[in-house]
């Protein structure tokens, strides 16, 4: 690929090092800005002339990961328009660069660009390919001929996070993992090419991490849920349990006093969804008492964090001992409810997430959560949603830790932002309502903002504009910068950031000083 970004605006990042410091100027297109001009070409390993694919490099377009046809005689190229609602796959002639369309997909909202090469898998014989698409609202598999003509739907169900593990052309079977039985769990399935047979091969109410044998005659699964530690077993191709290999529950496991973790579902306000929540309760939990809450979130489209698998660590147990209710929660657009749920976020980032989370917080109030001590923390998109929670949702969220935050979608990049929001010119009201600055007048409680000064993903400009807005309205907040930090920072700065966040939790939610040993 040849990328010409001379028309893309430059964004300066300041570094404080030395006497004079310096600027790192980077090309960064923000929503509505010109994108790089891209060409795709093919050249022999020995060198020579480049054959360029027949695309107009001046066009507003994106290219996904290309695929070599199995016989090596053509390159298949994924093309997408600037609006990201049309996907075309072209076969490029290696001799002259001409192209022929083999696949077309349109959606009313958007199509995710495949930059990892997972959308399409060729059959080993070269007689067709299996395509993964969420065009019907779920993540299903489709069998196509090499001419692009659809031959059959392999799956037609409420699958999500589908991942092909093995394909057998002789048996006309495909083995894959997906979430279906429970959106917080992953299972292993086999289906026939013609779509007439589909079987779940894994068992029980567990999340399964599967390793398939080379011919898929057997598989090894590591399985667990929120209350049961990992176990490992061998299972055959019919789903018959062969033998257990071992487990994480040692002889002394039951002697330990550990906080209870569970997955619950809370009905959305409109009754359309059962929103998943993962809760670790305090060790001394008594539903008649009031406890502080710490919610850790990310929140972006198809970026749910609630999984029904074994997760145990010392930090989690420490906070439970200190009396903190620890929560992870997902909204309707987090992926638990397929593309149909995610589509709610089209042209409205920040709105449905907060609406569903407020519903969950109201439910937590009935389970012992102290309404005066509801904390929320996140980084990047999670930082954005934390800022939104302490402004637009300030009647329900009282304390926030916002790191590396987007605060206005006009300040982020073209490809991610426009996929969901379109351009500011096309969707001015969506950008307005999705901006933290719009809701800053509702701010109350206490927000701690922190950012790396050289963040080249989410520019510190985002936090600085919010800081100025809060200063102009004479609101109290906390602010910390990490000099030289990118979108995250290692070493001593990371240790400092962790300690500062812990101190915030102790002082504001637990209402006591942090133990001195935390600072060592």
pLDDT digits (tens, 9 = 90+) for 41-89: 999 999 999 999 999 999 999 999 999 999 999 999 999 999 999 999 9
pLDDT digits (tens, 9 = 90+) for 88-134: 999 999 999 999 999 999 999 999 998 888 899 999 999 999 999 99
CA-closest candidate to residue 224, choices 202, 241, 204, 207: 207
Whole-number Å distance between alpha carbons of 333 and 342:
4
Instruction: Examine the pLDDT at 519 and tell me if it is beyond 80.
Output: no
Mean residue pLDDT across the chain: 96
Instruction: Examine the pLDDT at 517 and tell me if it is beyond 90.
Output: no
Residue 135: CB atoms within 10 A of its CB come to 15
Determine the average pLDDT of the residues in 6-33: 96
Backbone Cα Rg of the chain: 25
Task: State how beta strands 207-212 and 218-224 pair.
Answer: antiparallel
Residue 519: CB atoms within 10 A of its CB come to 11
- The pLDDT score that the predictor gives to residue 115 is 83
pLDDT digits (tens, 9 = 90+) for 475-504: 999 999 999 999 999 999 999 999 999 999
**Quick one: DSSP state of residue 368?**
T
408 within 8 A of 462, measured Cβ to Cβ: yes
The highest-level CATH class for domain 258-519 is: alpha beta
Whole-number Å distance between alpha carbons of 259 and 134:
38
Determine the average pLDDT of the residues in 3-29: 95
Whole-number Å distance between alpha carbons of 135 and 128:
20
Whole-number Å distance between alpha carbons of 237 and 220:
11
- The pLDDT score that the predictor gives to residue 153 is 97
Q: Which residues is 241 bridged to in the sheet?
A: 235
Whole-number Å distance between alpha carbons of 421 and 347:
4
Give the Å distances, CA to CA, from 385 to 201, 292, 392, 458.
38, 20, 10, 14
Instruction: Examine the pLDDT at 520 and tell me if it is beyond 80.
Output: no
Q: Which residues is 189 bridged to in the sheet?
A: 176, 200
Whole-number Å distance between alpha carbons of 237 and 200:
10
CB proximity list for 168: less than 8 A, separation 6 or greater: 174, 215, 216
CA-closest candidate to residue 340, choices 158, 177, 163, 195: 158
Determine the average pLDDT of the residues in 405-428: 97
- The pLDDT score that the predictor gives to residue 118 is 86
Share of the chain above pLDDT 90, in %: 96
pLDDT digits (tens, 9 = 90+) for 230-277: 999 999 999 999 999 999 999 899 899 999 999 999 999 999 999 999
- Chain Cα centroid distance, residue 57: 31
Q: How confident is the model at residue 516 (pLDDT cuts 50, 70, 90)?
A: confident
226 within 8 A of 309, measured Cβ to Cβ: yes
**Quick one: DSSP state of residue 515?**
P
pTM score? 0.95
75 within 8 A of 68, measured Cβ to Cβ: yes
Torsion of CA 293, 498, 399, 356, to 10 degrees: -60
Determine the average pLDDT of the residues in 328-345: 97
pLDDT digits (tens, 9 = 90+) for 183-225: 999 999 999 999 999 999 999 999 999 999 999 999 999 999 9
Share of the chain above pLDDT 70, in %: 100
CA-closest candidate to residue 295, choices 357, 207, 209: 357
pLDDT digits (tens, 9 = 90+) for 133-150: 999 999 999 999 999 999
- Chain Cα centroid distance, residue 452: 21
The domain locations on the chain are 1-117, 153-256, 258-519
The encoded tokens of residue 341 equal 């749920």
């Amino acid at each position: 690929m040849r990328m010409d970004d001379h028309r893309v605006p430059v964004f300066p990042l300041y570094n404080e090092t030395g006497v004079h410091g310096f600027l790192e100027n980077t090309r960064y297109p923000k929503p509505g800005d010109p994108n790089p001009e891209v060409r795709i070409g093919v050249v022999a390993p020995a060198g020579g002339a480049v054959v360029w694919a027949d695309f107009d490099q001046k066009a507003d377009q994106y290219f996904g990961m290309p695929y070599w046809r199995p016989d090596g005689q053509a390159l298949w190229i994924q093309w997408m328009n600037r609006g990201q609602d049309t996907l075309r796959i072209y076969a490029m002639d290696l001799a002259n660069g001409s192209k022929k369309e083999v696949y077309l997909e349109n959606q009313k909202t958007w199509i995710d660009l495949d930059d990892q090469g997972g959308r399409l898998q060729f059959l080993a014989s070269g007689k067709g390919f299996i395509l993964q698409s969420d065009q019907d609202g779920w993540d299903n598999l489709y069998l196509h001929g090499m001419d692009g003509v659809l031959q059959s739907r392999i799956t037609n169900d409420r699958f999500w996070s589908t991942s092909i593990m093995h394909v057998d052309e002789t048996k006309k079977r495909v083995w894959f993992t997906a979430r279906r039985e429970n959106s917080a769990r992953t299972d292993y399935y086999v289906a026939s090419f013609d779509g007439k047979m589909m079987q779940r091969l894994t068992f029980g109410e567990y999340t399964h991490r599967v390793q398939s044998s080379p011919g898929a005659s057997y598989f090894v699964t590591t399985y667990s849920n929120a209350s049961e530690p990992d176990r490992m077993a061998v299972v055959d191709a019919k789903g018959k349990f062969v033998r257990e290999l071992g487990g994480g529950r040692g002889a002394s496991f039951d002697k330990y006093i550990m906080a209870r973790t569970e997955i619950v579902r809370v009905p959305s306000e409109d009754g359309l969804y059962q929103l998943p929540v993962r809760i670790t309760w305090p060790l001394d939990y008594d539903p008649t008492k009031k406890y502080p809450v710490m919610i850790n979130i990310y929140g972006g489209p198809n970026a749910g964090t609630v999984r029904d698998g074994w997760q145990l660590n010392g930090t989690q147990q420490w906070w439970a001992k200190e009396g903190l209710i620890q929560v992870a929660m997902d909204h309707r657009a987090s992926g638990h409810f397929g593309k149909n749920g995610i589509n709610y976020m089209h042209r409205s980032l920040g709105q449905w997430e907060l609406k569903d989370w407020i519903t969950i917080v109201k439910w937590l109030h009935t389970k012992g959560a102290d309404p005066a001590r509801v904390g929320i923390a996140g980084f990047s998109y999670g930082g954005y949603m934390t800022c939104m929670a302490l402004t637009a949702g300030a009647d329900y969220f009282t304390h926030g830790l916002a790191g590396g935050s987007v605060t206005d979608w006009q300040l982020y990049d073209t490809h991610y932002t426009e996929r969901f929001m379109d351009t500011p010119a096309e969707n001015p009201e969506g950008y307005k309502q999705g901006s933290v600055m719009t809701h800053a007048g509702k701010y109350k409680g206490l927000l701690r903002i922190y950012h790396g000064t050289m963040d080249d993903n989410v520019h510190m400009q985002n936090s600085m504009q919010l800081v100025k807005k809060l200063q102009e309205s004479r609101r109290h907040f906390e602010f910390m910068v990490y000099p030289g930090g990118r979108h995250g920072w290692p070493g001593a700065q990371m240790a400092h950031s962790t300690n500062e966040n812990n101190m915030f939790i102790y002082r504001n939610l637990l209402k006591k000083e942090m133990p001195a040993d935390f600072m060592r």
